[in-house]
Amino acid sequence: MRRGCSSSSTCVYGVTYSNTTFSVGFMAKETLTITRSDVFQLFIFGCGQRNNFPNGGSAAGVLGLGRGWFSLVSQTANKYHKVFSYCLPPSDRSTGYLRFGDKNLPSSVQFTPMSNSFQGTHYYGLDIVDIGVGGERLSIDRSVFTTSGAVIDSASLITRLPPAAYSRVRRAFEVRMTKYPRAPAFESLGTCFDFSGNTSVVMPTISLYFEGGLEMPIDARGILYVNKISQACLAFAKNSDDSDVMILGNFQQKGYEVVYDDANGRVGFAPVINVKSSLAIVNKHGPCSQLNQDKPNAPSHSEILRQDQARADSIHSMLSLSSTEKTSLQDKPGISIGTGKYQVTMGFGSPKTELSLVFDTASQLTWTQCQPCSGYCYDQKEPIFDPSKSSSYTNIQCSSGTCKQISSEGMREGCSSSSSCVYGVTYSNTTFSVGFMAKETLTITSSDVFQEFLFGCGQRNRFPNGGSAAGVLGLGRGWFSLVSQTANKYHKVFSYCLPPSDRSTGYLRFGDKNLPSSVQFTPMSSSFQGTHYYGLDIVDIGVGGERLSIDRSVFTTSGTVIDSASLITRLPPAAYSRVRRAFEVRMTKYPRAPAFESLGTCFDFSGNTSVVMPTISLYFDGGLEMPIDARGILYVNKISQACLAFAKNGDDSDVMILGNFQQKGYEVVYDDANGRVGFAPGRCG
């Protein structure tokens, strides 16, 4: 940087990024607040007096995370030990995170040493040794990479390769993409394709290999840069000269938490999901859903909340049944499917047919619509599953023990004229499925395939809130649940991260490998043993950093379940009143707004450019505190009607429901084998 001195003997700095981007001002010390608990006195920074930042997007300045004396990394070394990490947002409409320190690093992180070539600079260097395309290493001569070296950069978009490496990658990629016509180059991207007319695209994988044996498979979103459907380009550019340093850009860092450990001279990569046993979760009304390609109208906020109320009412009804009443459960309406908002895609049959299913932690049976429907199936976007075209499909016989188990699990049981076992499951007056109980091959991922998976092959189905999904994926507790049927492999453990917005994706993964190190568990409640629900013991709630000291009996009277398909958290009346009062006291600067459906505590933010609201935390048995993500506190119908996203149960005996709106920002881990549920913050963008 340039150094100078003002007329008042104040130190002046000058930093230039390009001909049009610079900052000149006073070198100063100030208090820096990163979080409420992480406050740094006398932080050295530049107080700019003359600045030009045309590409800054109206940002106030720059946060320096490079190597160097003035870097935030160096100035906070006593607390954070020169360790920081980030997860970049998967889409423009979602969020990522930047975190500091060596606590709670993901257990799946793998490290490579920093390169010695960039000691004394502000850059973090890496030693790349090879690249792979389509699962095959290209065996590029190592000197191609060592001549220039490589740096990893958070602000560079596209990865820049040495010319010799780019040529090898380009050739290997083109050979595997011959079914698609070529398109003109786009700016610095010279390997482009025209996907017009294709409903799906198959592209080869790409991996980077680093010193120390680390392989980094590039996330699928980091392989192609799509300018338009007729011009999708390999997202790697060629350097102009062999001596130009290779740059690992942020486009190829998608899907990873990238860990910088400068104290130990290493950089690590932790995949955000375990791709071997995981599925993408999409919002059925978002553009990421396969079912929403022609953009049908999404339901209004009122419709969403009414559907959610129906879900809550049905859970309350189901759990209020006495043990005597439960013996005749098959004759009663089942649980409402609610908004049916979140879906995953799985493969059924041999060869497999990919089907989108609404996943539900309160349902145990997995079912899908099946041919022939004879006019009793609803419209779904994907082709309806045809068991006659699968070599692995088998109907369950009436005489089997499996068929007899149906009534024990709370479903209707019957027998067809051909002695095939018939099931019936009812969610509400308008939502049901009746069909054959069957065995079929289920494909979760290419490496996770289950033979003779028990499911319902629906012949008569109605699913008005399913968003054109093919059926339901049952993740509840019970004999027929996917969790029970895959217990030998996944040990009754699964987790999910819900999409942070309609335009992004989350994930559903299975098994106890690579659980986040930051996960904290609370025991499952014994009150819900023998049901399909996952129960929790909540002991208190906090607002604005203060626990409300609500009498524990308020929660134990009804108990609490966590539910993936319920939207809004439902509180016992006494708890709701305490939370509402504490929240209102801290929101007096905003005028009140009318209630909205089941939400009774609403505010008018018209004319406000920003809103300050109190935090809310749930406290569980075992000492676990779960701070609700800011996105899970207010449900915004419109700027003049933003409501506290908690609803009041009608009666103290109604079970409390922890809905998915308050699960945002967490990876939620269900470990049924060990009787516990866990929450890992900051894993979901």
Residues annotated as catalytic are: 360, 563
Q: Are 279-289+339-509 and 515-681 in the same CATH fold?
A: yes
Closest by alpha carbon to 463, among 661, 307, 271, 651? 307
C-alpha 630, offset from chain centre: 16
Q: Write out pLDDT tens, residues 367-414.
A: 999 999 877 888 888 899 999 999 999 999 999 999 988 877 767 777
d(CA 11, CA 459): 79
Residue of higher predicted confidence among 480 and 4: 480
Beta-bridge partners for 83: 261
Predicted local distance difference test score (pLDDT) of residue 92: 65
d(CA 276, CA 590): 48
What's the average model confidence in pLDDT over 42-54?
92
Predicted local distance difference test score (pLDDT) of residue 312: 55
Predicted local distance difference test score (pLDDT) of residue 305: 59
The DSSP line for 23-83 is EEEEEEEEEEEEETTEEEEEEEEEEEEEEE-TTSTT-S-----SSSTTSHHHHTHHHHTTE
Domain 279-289+339-509 has CATH 3.20.20.70: no
Predicted local distance difference test score (pLDDT) of residue 621: 96
d(CA 599, CA 601): 6
Residue of higher predicted confidence among 215 and 279: 215
How many residues are listed for the chain in this entry?
A: 685
d(CA 104, CA 84): 11
The H or E element that residue 406 is part of is helix 401-408
Specify burial of residue 32 (Cβ count, 10 A radius: 0-12, 13-18, 19+). middle
CA angle 492, 339, 405 (to 5 degrees): 40
Q: Write out pLDDT tens, residues 155-213.
A: 888 999 999 999 999 999 999 999 999 999 998 899 999 999 887 788 999 999 999 99
Residue 324 has pLDDT above 50, yes or no: no
d(CA 601, CA 463): 32
Residue ranges of E strands in 305-447: 342-348, 353-360, 367-369, 394-395, 412-415, 421-428, 431-445
User: Within a 13 Å sphere around the CA of 265, how many CA atoms are in the beta-carbon half?
Assistant: 11
Closest by alpha carbon to 101, among 517, 513, 506, 515? 517
Domain 515-681 has CATH 2.120.10.60: no
CA angle 129, 130, 131 (to 5 degrees): 145
Mean of per-residue pLDDT scores for the chain: 86
What's the average model confidence in pLDDT over 651-677?
93
**Domains of the chain, residue spans:** 1-62, 88-272, 279-289+339-509, 515-681
Predicted local distance difference test score (pLDDT) of residue 298: 59
Cβ-Cβ contacts under 8 Å for 128 (sequence gap 6 or more) = 145, 150, 208, 209, 210, 211, 246, 248
d(CA 643, CA 475): 30
d(CA 266, CA 585): 48
Would you give the DSSP letter of residue 370?
B
Beta-bridge partners for 24: 14, 50
The distance between the two most distant Cα atoms of the chain, rounded to a whole number of Å, is 99
Predicted local distance difference test score (pLDDT) of residue 311: 52
Residue 149 has pLDDT above 50, yes or no: yes
- Look at the block and give the residue holding tokens 């709630």: 541
What's the average model confidence in pLDDT over 132-142?
94
User: Are the CB atoms for 127 and 216 separated by under 8 Å?
Assistant: no
Predicted local distance difference test score (pLDDT) of residue 75: 96
The H or E element that residue 175 is part of is helix 163-175
The H or E element that residue 309 is part of is helix 301-319
Residue 322 has pLDDT above 60, yes or no: no
Residue of higher predicted confidence among 33 and 53: 33
Residue of higher predicted confidence among 3 and 547: 547
Q: Write out pLDDT tens, residues 283-311.
A: 544 443 444 444 445 566 666 656 656 65
Q: Which CATH superfamily is domain 88-272 in?
A: Acid Proteases (2.40.70.10)
The pLDDT confidence band at residue 93, using thresholds 50, 70 and 90, is low
What's the average model confidence in pLDDT over 138-164?
92
> In a 3-state reduction of DSSP, which class is residue 650?
coil
CA angle 156, 133, 235 (to 5 degrees): 25
How many contiguous H segments (helices) and E segments (strands) does the chain have?
A: 11, 50
